[in-house]
Amino acid sequence: MSSNDEKSDPQVIRKPIAAESVPWHVWSKGSRFGSRYRHLTKAVMGGDAYHVGVAIEELAPGQQSSPAHYHLLEEEHILILEGRATLRLGDETLEMSAGDYVCFPARQKAGHCLINTSDAPCRFVVIGEQKPDEVCVYTDSNKILVRSVDAVYDKSQVRDYWDGEATGADPGPSSSSSSS
């Protein structure tokens, strides 16, 4: 059995790991977005073959965790371990601190993200699903991510179902049959 087969084989016994043994990874975009994280699930599973992901993230002062978004198919959970952050949830901002927990159910149409408005790092656990057919809506930028086709679409470009289709004929003012 190759190591790739072992990564997705449910019969392979996964042993406990120390979270501190997982290296930090850093991501950022510009001066606004960024964090460092330990992806615990990837460390145990050895790749992307998982259904539920668990990571420890650390958000530096002044940083935002992600663009505000909501999920149509995936559920997401956050538990604050250390520090404080401001949760944007729809039109509300809520202060969170160590011990606070929040869940974002699938189809809850309220964009969410964390912003560290404090002067110290905020460390939290994030738990989320990893569905290949996920659709994610970005509320500030009016975009939609469709994971299954690996594309992000501009939501303002919504079209009618029949736009661009050769229907064969113009049905005229009424396509129903008239009675005499």
Domains of the chain from N-terminus onward: 18-131 (2.60.120.10)
User: Which band of pLDDT confidence, cut at 50, 70 and 90, is reported for residue 170?
Assistant: low
Question: Do 40 and 85 touch, CB atoms closer than 8 A?
Answer: no
The pLDDT assigned to 172 comes to 53
Supply the pTM of this predicted model: 0.83
pLDDT tens-digit series, residues 135-155: 999 999 999 999 999 999 998
Residue 135 and residue 127: Cα distance in Å, rounded? 17
Question: Do 114 and 122 touch, CB atoms closer than 8 A?
Answer: yes
Question: If you average pLDDT over every residue of the chain, what do you get?
Answer: 90
